[in-house]
């Protein structure tokens, strides 16, 4: 079934808002097995909208629009769609009551202009708006369909999930299900190389994606039922895990922070952070996860050398001899964080986020990360290779992700491989 999306709103053409509806609807429709061939954005202009709709109906079976359902005279999506299908608008009493109730609940008298939102194309299937006043609907003519949805994402998404999905599912004779195997520390090309022949499979398909140092393989199957699709996917996910080993940190989790909070909980461990160049980003990401307080209690943002010394106990001579961005200082910071926090583990990050250098000949993008439990440790030197003007965000993001991954590897690695942190620091 061919489908296209039409987003109505001059604010989109002016760049005043980011079109998140486009990604949302595309993703959901792809999962339902619909082919989305075009997305189009038009302003609040009835002639241009009409032209786009007529053209779209020639090549596709279903058009879904968002936006232009408000109460003002600029909002004309419904009127134009009804005109294209030659359907008259009729008052939909149930919607009118709902709009009245909406204002009543808020203790506001309903403006007359909102009545127009309850006028619906004759014979259309009306979709209730649980987060606003404008109902949506599906209208049909000669086997072609237009579905109109409100523009605000909160209203659109809920209406899509509650009303449009059930409506659309009858047009889909199959489901598409995806699972993402998430990896860290392996480049996209090496990951693809190890996946090898799996990338040529047809059902499920296996596709690589990469972003800010992370790479994932998405396994997608098409089947008549969800159960069948899952059955096709499961052995492939297992095979990928075998081939990629400890590079894999999770399946379908939202990112390294979700993974590390779950892993710490599972092992009954607490973590502290000592951040220099990431400036609080690691703490922020850990505490993005609700319930992180059971595994994370303390972070030290030691952006200056004074705080590295006074709070984390890094020795002056290490800072002087090796500089703040060094193995010796990273290890000392992590050890200091374990000591001052009483946590089971600590991770430290010290590096040059850029765009400016730290005044030494060390390159922008050089970062040291240490993880310790107070006796043994793990250390990582990272060279992001990014030193251009806009590198700062990238370098900080990758440093924080790598730090979280190092914590994972420290927890999972064999204790036999570990070396003594005090001996290491004293060796400098």
Would you say 164 or 292 has its CB closer to a copy of itself? 292
Kindly indicate which of the ranges 198-206, 260-268, 353-361, 406-414 contains the residues binding a copy of itself, using the contact rule CB under 8 A: 353-361
Provide, rounded to whole angstroms, the least separation between the CB of residue 270 and a copy of itself. 9
Ranges within 326-345 binding a copy of itself (CB under 8 A): 340-342
Least gap, CB of 390 to a copy of itself (angstroms):
7
In the region spanning residues 75 to 134, those forming contacts with a copy of itself, defined by CB under 8 A, are: 106, 130-131
**Is residue 37 involved in binding a copy of itself (CB under 8 A)?**
yes
* Of 302, 301, 269, 299, residue with least CA distance to 286: 299
CB closer to a copy of itself, 287 vs 422: 287
Shortest distance in whole angstroms from residue 289 CB to a copy of itself: 9
Which residues in 260-319 contact a copy of itself (CB under 8 A)?
A: 273, 275, 277-284, 286-288, 290-293, 296-304, 306-307, 310-311
- Taking CB under 8 A as the criterion, the residue among 388, 412, 419, 420 binding a copy of itself is 388
Residue 164 CB neighbours (<10 A):
22
Partner residues linked to 361 by β-bridges: none
Strand 366-372, strand 345-351: pairing: antiparallel
At closest approach, how far in Å is the CB of 203 from a copy of itself? 16
- Asked whether the beta carbons of 87 and 139 are under 8 A apart, the reply is yes
Q: Does 71 bind a copy of itself (CB under 8 A)?
A: no
Q: Note whether 423 binds a copy of itself by CB under 8 A.
A: no
Quote the tokens at residue 301.
């943002």
| CB of 241 closer than 8 Å to CB of 269 | no
Question: In the block, which residue shows the tokens 């980011």?
Answer: 18
Closest to 77 (Cα-Cα) out of 135, 19, 160: 135
- Among 2, 33, 43, 234, indicate the residue that binds a copy of itself (CB under 8 A): 43
Read off the tokens for 20. Answer: 């998140």
208 preceded by a cis bond (ω within 30 of 0): no
13 token code pair: 């053409």
Q: Which of 196, 393, 419, 420 binds a copy of itself (CB under 8 A)?
A: 393
Question: Pick from 412, 120, 127, 107: which is nearest to 269 by CA?
Answer: 412
Q: Which parts of 14-33 interact with a copy of itself (CB under 8 A)?
A: 14-20, 22-30
State the nearest-atom distance from the C-beta of 78 to a copy of itself, in Å: 21
**Closest separation between CB of residue 31 and a copy of itself, Å?**
9
Where do we find the tokens 């082919």? Answer: 35
Q: Report the run of H or E that residue 232 belongs to, with start and end.
A: helix 226-244
For 140, residues 6+ apart whose C-beta sits below 8 A from its C-beta are 85, 123, 124
Among the listed ranges 13-21, 63-71, 228-236, 412-420, the one in contact with a copy of itself (CB under 8 A) is 13-21
The span from the CA of 203 to the CA of 44, in Å, is 42
Which range, of 36-44, 119-127, 135-143, 370-378, touches a copy of itself by CB under 8 A? Answer: 36-44
Q: Which is closer to a copy of itself, CB of 387 or CB of 422? A: 387
212 binds a copy of itself (CB under 8 A): no
Q: Which is nearer to a copy of itself, 158 or 239 (CB)?
A: 158
**Residue count, binding to a copy of itself (CB under 8 A):** 78
Instruction: Write out the two tokens for 160.
Output: 């899509």
Q: How far is the CB of 317 from a copy of itself (least distance, A)?
A: 20
Token pair, residue 303, equals 């952006």
The answer to whether residue 390 forms part of the interface with a copy of itself (CB under 8 A) is yes
Looking at the DSSP bridge assignments, the partners of residue 200 are: none
In angstroms, what is the minimal distance from the CB of 92 to a copy of itself?
23
Contact between 323 and a copy of itself by CB under 8 A: the answer reads no
Hey, which residues between 157 and 176 contact a copy of itself (CB under 8 A)? 158
69 in Cβ contact with 155 (< 8 Å): no
What does the DSSP 8-state code read for residue 312? T
Contact 86, 54 (CB under 8 A): no
The rounded Cα 361 to chain-centroid distance in angstroms is: 36
């Amino acid at each position: 079934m061919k489908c296209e999306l039409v987003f109505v709103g001059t604010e989109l053409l002016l760049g005043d808002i980011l079109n998140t509806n486009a990604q949302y609807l595309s993703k959901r429709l792809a999962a339902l097995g619909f082919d989305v061939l075009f997305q189009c954005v038009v302003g609040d202009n009835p002639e241009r909208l009409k032209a786009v709709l007529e053209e779209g109906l020639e090549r596709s079976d279903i058009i879904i629009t968002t936006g232009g359902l408000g109460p003002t005279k600029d909002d004309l999506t419904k009127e134009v769609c009804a005109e294209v299908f030659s359907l008259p608008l009729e008052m939909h009493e149930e919607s009118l009551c709902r709009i009245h109730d909406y204002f009543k609940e808020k203790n506001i008298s309903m403006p007359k202009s909102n009545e127009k939102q309850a006028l619906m194309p004759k014979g259309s299937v009306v979709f209730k708006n649980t987060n606003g006043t404008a109902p949506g609907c599906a209208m049909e003519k000669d086997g072609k369909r237009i579905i109109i949805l409100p523009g605000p994402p909160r209203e659109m998404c809920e209406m899509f999930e509650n009303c449009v999905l059930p409506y659309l599912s009858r047009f889909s004779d199959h489901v598409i299900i995806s699972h993402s195997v998430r990896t860290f520390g392996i480049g996209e090309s090496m990951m693809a190389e190890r996946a090898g022949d799996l990338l040529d499979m047809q059902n499920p398909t296996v596709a690589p994606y990469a972003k800010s140092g992370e790479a994932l393989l998405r396994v997608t199957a098409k089947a008549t039922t969800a159960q069948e699709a899952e059955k096709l996917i499961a052995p492939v996910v297992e095979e990928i895990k075998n081939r990629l080993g400890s590079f894999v940190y999770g399946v379908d989790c939202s990112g390294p922070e979700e993974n590390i909070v779950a892993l710490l909980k599972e092992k009954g461990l607490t973590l502290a952070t000592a951040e220099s160049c990431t400036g609080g980003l690691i703490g922020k990401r850990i505490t993005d996860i609700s319930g992180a307080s059971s595994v994370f209690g303390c972070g030290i943002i030691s952006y200056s050398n004074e705080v590295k010394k006074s709070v984390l106990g890094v020795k002056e001579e290490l800072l002087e001899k090796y500089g703040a961005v060094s193995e010796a200082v990273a290890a000392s910071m992590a050890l200091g964080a374990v000591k001052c926090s009483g946590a089971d583990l600590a991770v430290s990050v010290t590096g040059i986020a850029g765009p400016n250098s730290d005044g030494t000949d060390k390159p922008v993008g050089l970062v040291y990360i240490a993880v310790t439990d107070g006796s043994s440790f793990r250390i990582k030197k990272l060279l992001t290779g990014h030193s251009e003007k806009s590198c700062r965000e990238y370098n900080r993001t990758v440093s924080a992700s790598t730090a979280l991954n190092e914590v994972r590897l420290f927890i999972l690695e064999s204790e036999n491989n570990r070396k003594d942190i005090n001996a290491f620091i004293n060796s400098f």
